[in-house]
Structure formats: structure tokens, C-alpha cells
């Protein structure tokens, strides 16, 4: 019974490159959330998606960041033209459709920008 799967675990990019982070939710979960954790800070919500729909993207920076959760395959968080300030741990969480269920987290992707 696999949990939330994120890959890669570590990603190194140079400034200006693109970063793609992947997340497969737990089996039976239809809601996916992305959070960012900067050093010595708490997790900050970025975006909440269901299959083929973005439900809440109030925490996403307006530029360079995008997210999708296609009908088939994992959810993708994409960061274009990365800058040093994008260095952080990016966590994905999932929950089932039933109301009021807790979110379960993946191990995260640690993004480092050179």
C-alpha cells in the first residue's frame, strides 16, 4: 500500500533552467496539494488540484510556476527559469474525496539552485 510518491528526491538546477517535480497520490486519493518549505520555515500552501482541475492556486507565485494533475499520470509542479530563491523542499500531499479526511505527505523533493 504505497504512500504518496514524489520524485526526484533531490534535484539540482542552474539558474534559468526548468524544474519538474512529480507526485503520485496515495491509491484511492483524488485530491493533490503542493506545499513549499523554506529553510527554518513552516510549510506554505501553493496549490490544490483534482484530476484535470486546479481548485485553489492562491499560494502559487504568479509567474514561472504552474501545476497540473492530468487524467492519466502524476501531478506535476513546474518551475520555469529557476532562481536561487526557489531553493526549498517541495512537498506533495493527497487526500481522498470524502470530506474532512487528513492529508498524507510524500517525502518531498529538495530543489537546489546553483
Partner 1 sequence: EDKVVQSPLSLVVHEGDTVTLNCSYEVTNFRSLLWYKQEKKAPTFLFMLTSSGIEKKSGRLSSILDKKELFSILNITATQTGDSAIYLCAVALNTGTASKLTFGTGTRLQVTL
Scanning 12-20, 36-44, 66-74, 80-88 for contacts with partner 1 by CB under 8 A, the matching segment is 36-44
Contacts with partner 1, 54-73, as mask; x by CB under 8 A: -xx-xx--------------
* CB nearer to partner 1: pick between 12 and 55: 55
**52 near partner 1, rule: CB under 8 A:** no
Contacts of 99 (CB under 8 A, 6+ apart): none
**104 near partner 1, rule: CB under 8 A:** yes
Contact 46, 36 (CB under 8 A): yes
Scanning 14-22, 66-74, 76-84, 91-99 for contacts with partner 1 by CB under 8 A, the matching segment is 91-99
Rounded distance, CA 46 to CA 61, Å? 8
Using CB atoms within 10 Å of the CB of residue 74, give its burial: 0 to 12 exposed, 13 to 18 middle, 19+ buried: middle
Amino acid at each position: 500500500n504505497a504512500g504518496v510518491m514524489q520524485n526526484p528526491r533531490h534535484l539540482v538546477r542552474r539558474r534559468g533552467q526548468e524544474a519538474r517535480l512529480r507526485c503520485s497520490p496515495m491509491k484511492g486519493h483524488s485530491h493533490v496539494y503542493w506545499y513549499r518549505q523554506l529553510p527554518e520555515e513552516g510549510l506554505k500552501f501553493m496549490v490544490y488540484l483534482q484530476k484535470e482541475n486546479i481548485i485553489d492556486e492562491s499560494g502559487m507565485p504568479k509567474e514561472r510556476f504552474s501545476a497540473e494533475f492530468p487524467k492519466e499520470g502524476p501531478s506535476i509542479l513546474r518551475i520555469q527559469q529557476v532562481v536561487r530563491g526557489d531553493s526549498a523542499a517541495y512537498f506533495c500531499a493527497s487526500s481522498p474525496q470524502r470530506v474532512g479526511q487528513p492529508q498524507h505527505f510524500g517525502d518531498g523533493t529538495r530543489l537546489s539552485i546553483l
